[in-house]
Chain A
């Protein structure tokens, strides 16, 4: 069962200074009232102002080479930064996707020109990306996508549509997975490519899809003869599927898969301590134990990824356990306090409960559903 063993990470002492620097930064932002903690802030909390400040601090693209605006820090240091921001419930959604996966994708597969063009802007917290994978008839079965690009003089003509695209109405670009040759029933993953779509280009229409709360978070994005110049192809034509898959381990095992409802846990703990509620804290100790375990799993995978060890099985496993954990937080809270969740309550606790409850269905869907993840894990274990 070697594939299921995750190493212990002892964070280097030096990271403590970095951690305290971030805590001081967040404290200042909280005190000045420029941000307020919220659940699911990495997907719902869009604040270009904050993203720019974080960029100025050097905390976006911080592992990238200096020539592209990076700071050449380790991925463990990046882990520290991201988990501190998430634990504080800071609105980091604007730059999150670009920092987590679009930037690394360019680094790995992009041309020099693309790297010089996109990465410094991303690192400054000024350039935002969205993920163009799902389509109306391709959800879990992503290989069923129909959006296609046809070769024309100097580039490609893109036609089709994407759906559920988080933040497309706010982002500048979308990395779009599309077909560049017709579907081959014997090799479903062949013939796909990744194109950078400028979301302000002619032929792109973005239509909001409102969440059940009425909020505008994700979108349907239509492409009608959108011209994509050749220099906006990422990596190799036809290699889109493989390229996209390499980023999945990063996408699935990060701290955002366990901390989406941490602000609620923090507030719940505050409340129970204030009420000297021993019974309540007994319950919370179980939650804290789970979180401690999950964090050690997620940290361990960050280390494996840094060492280049393939980890998609355990990354899927951590996302499954982590999102189940996030999802339960509101359920646990409501039975421990007399508060009633409400989005516009004056009480911090009630507000966070409402956010955690209302966002909870999404946790176990986005980035691969529970059922799909468990399928990956089970098949991986049987083969291991």
Chain B
């Protein structure tokens, strides 16, 4: 980590410790926007990391952005920073400046494109998006749509949209957004290839979730470790029991594995935002949850099953986030497609990232 990166991490962690406390995370579940948290991150320039200054960003690279998201996951921060980064990335790649407002993104409804028709000096918009993260708090939404001419990425103001509030298993806002022939005077659109955008949203989103999940896993591991060190039964701390040790070692294993998986995916991202490493990482992290959540709850037993304890901030997020931007079966199919295209004995080349060129080498 460079000095700059350490500084970013340090100030982010400081903000999170102060403004993503237990009470704030709990309140957010009741629909209260974590204003101080968001505003502080904004004040420190964290909302526009990894965007060059020409595009109104604050510079830095993707590694910085994902390091911040890791902390968002670790502290269960109830804010849409990931969505903000995804939107920034899409805008930036189209050469557009990033915006000051909070923009959310419709990730799931790519089969039903929003219909955008010219009318007088403005536009008429129709469409519906389900399970939109934090829509009720957003000023705008980035959607995939089509005009009479072609397919677009369109930035729509949410002022006249209807929003039906919903939530994921962690109580994070996941709303339904309707545009029922809404007249909009000004919208920003950009012609895009839909498939390409859908893929980019899935992979970028998948990586944001993977990273946040490993952050949450770190918290889960820390809470578990603390518990087995401090709680005693039968006259000794829990960690002295072999059965507990076996559980703990498995948690540690899943954390170490998912941690290295996302780090490798992050380093691939700058070169290729739809890399196979991202597919591997999201699938690997998702798969860990089935093991990790039950173990953590088993070890913390009754106290960990309460609202009072904070274990659920992490475990409920892990259950939620594994569904988002591709569940296991989605990523399996994506990877399987690559496998299907392999020649005989070529799997090893895929794993090592070095093509089999033994034919070309002179055999002495």
Contacts and interface: CB of A to CB of B under 8 A. Distances in A.
A199 interface: no
B348 interface: yes
Nearest to A381: B252
Contacts of A270: 344-345
Select the residue from A266, A278, A374 with max chain B CB neighbours within 10 A: A374
A6 B260 contact: yes
A113 interface: no
Contacts of B222: 1
Interface string A73-85: 0000000000100
B212 interface: no
B236 to A, nearest CB: 13
Contacts of B264: 8, 296
Contact of B249 (A7, A290, A374): A374
A139 to B, nearest CB: 16
Contacts of B244: 378
Interface stretch (A42-50, A157-165, A237-245, A281-289): A281-289
A281 B339 contact: yes
Contacts of B328: 286
Nearest to B263: A8
A146 B213 CA distance: 49
Interface string B21-38: 000000000000000000
A6 B335 contact: no
Contacts of A374: 245-246, 248-250
Contact of B339 (A21, A274, A285): A285
A87 B239 contact: no
A28 interface: yes
Interface in B262-280: 263-264, 267, 277, 279-280
Interface stretch (B165-173, B197-205, B356-364): B356-364
A246 interface: no
Contacts of B283: 285-286, 289
Nearest to A267: B345
Given A276-B340, A377-B248, A382 B239 contact: yes
Contacts of B352: 19, 83
A294 B218 CA distance: 19
B241 to A, nearest CB: 10
Interface string A14-30: 00100111011111100
Interface string B85-106: 0000000000000000000000
Contacts of B344: 270, 273-274
A382 B345 CA distance: 43
Contact of B253 (A11, A288, A377): A377
Given A1-B255, A19-B352, A23-B356, A265 B228 contact: no
Contacts of A274: 344
Contact of A378 (B239, B342, B361): B239
Nearest to A375: B245
A24 B363 contact: yes
Nearest to B364: A24
A4 B259 CA distance: 8
B333 interface: yes
A6 B259 CA distance: 8
A273 B340 contact: yes
B249 A375 contact: yes
A295 interface: yes
Interface in A332-363: none
B350 interface: yes
Contact of A295 (B242, B345, B351, B363): B351
Interface residues of B, number: 59
Contacts of A300: 260
A216 B266 CA distance: 47
B260 A296 contact: yes
A278 B246 contact: no
Given A286-B283, A371-B246, A374-B249, A269 B342 contact: yes
A293 interface: yes
A320 interface: yes
Interface in A279-311: 281-286, 288-297, 300
B347 A317 contact: no
Contact of B361 (A21, A83, A297, A314): A21
Contact of B248 (A83, A293, A381): A381
A252 to B, nearest CB: 13
Given A87-B348, A273-B342, A293 B261 contact: yes
Given A23-B361, A272-B339, A293-B257, 9 more contacts: A5-B259, A6-B260, A8-B260, A10-B267, A278-B333, A285-B331, A288-B335, A300-B260, A377-B249
30 contacts: A8-B260, A23-B357, A23-B361, A24-B361, A25-B363, A26-B358, A83-B352, A265-B347, A269-B342, A270-B344, A273-B340, A276-B340, A285-B283, A285-B333, A286-B283, A286-B287, A289-B280, A289-B284, A292-B284, A292-B351, A293-B257, A296-B260, A296-B261, A300-B260, A321-B257, A374-B245, A379-B245, A381-B221, A381-B225, A381-B248
Interface of A: 1, 4-8, 10-11, 16, 19-21, 23-28, 83, 87, 262, 265-266, 269-270, 272-274, 276, 278, 281-286, 288-297, 300, 314, 317-318, 320-321, 371, 373-375, 377-379, 381-382
Interface of B: 218, 221-222, 225, 228-229, 239, 242, 244-246, 248-250, 252-253, 255-261, 263-264, 267, 277, 279-280, 283-284, 287, 328-329, 331-336, 339-340, 342, 344-345, 347-348, 350-354, 356-358, 360-363
List the 6 closest pairs (A to B, CB-CB), nearest first: A374-B249, A285-B335, A378-B245, A377-B249, A281-B336, A23-B358
